[in-house]
């Protein structure tokens, strides 16, 4: 299956279990991989035959900057389900949510989750 991939989408949100995370907020990163057949788009050069990734960006932004969630798992799930609901050409989606400033008691680069969902 072909793939459209958006990486390094960064937004400011208020997700987390700790009160200070929900008050101060922090940066979140999102990577999205959408699996679909891109042959028609490649052959016809028509936007209607693919997924407009500007629209995907807007969906991700709305979720990450929207209602605070306790868990980044919930953020990833909402993004994955939204993509499947709004973009009928997408057969499978992988969403990774990065929380590089998670409140961990040590030095680390990133805390992240990945959600993989397929159309039913």
Which residue has 């969403």 as its token pair? 95
Residue in 5, 61, 70, 99 annotated catalytic: 99
Active site residue 92: no
11 phi and psi angles, rounded to 5 deg: -145, 165
- Report how far residue 43's alpha carbon sits from residue 25's, in angstroms, rounded to the nearest whole number: 44
Hey, which residues does 35 pair with through a beta bridge? 3, 92
Catalytic amino acids? 99
């Amino acid at each position: 299956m072909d793939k459209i991939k958006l990486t390094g989408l960064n937004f400011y949100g208020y997700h987390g279990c700790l009160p200070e995370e929900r008050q101060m907020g922090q940066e979140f990163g999102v990577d999205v991989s959408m699996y679909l057949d891109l042959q028609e788009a490649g052959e016809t050069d028509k936007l209607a035959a693919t997924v407009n990734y500007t629209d995907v960006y807007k969906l991700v932004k709305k979720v990450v900057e929207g209602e605070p969630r306790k868990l980044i798992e919930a953020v990833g799930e909402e993004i994955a389900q939204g993509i499947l609901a709004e973009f009928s050409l997408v057969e499978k989606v992988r969403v990774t949510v990065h929380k590089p400033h998670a409140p961990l008691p040590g030095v680390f680069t990133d805390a992240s989750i990945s959600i993989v969902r397929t159309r039913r």
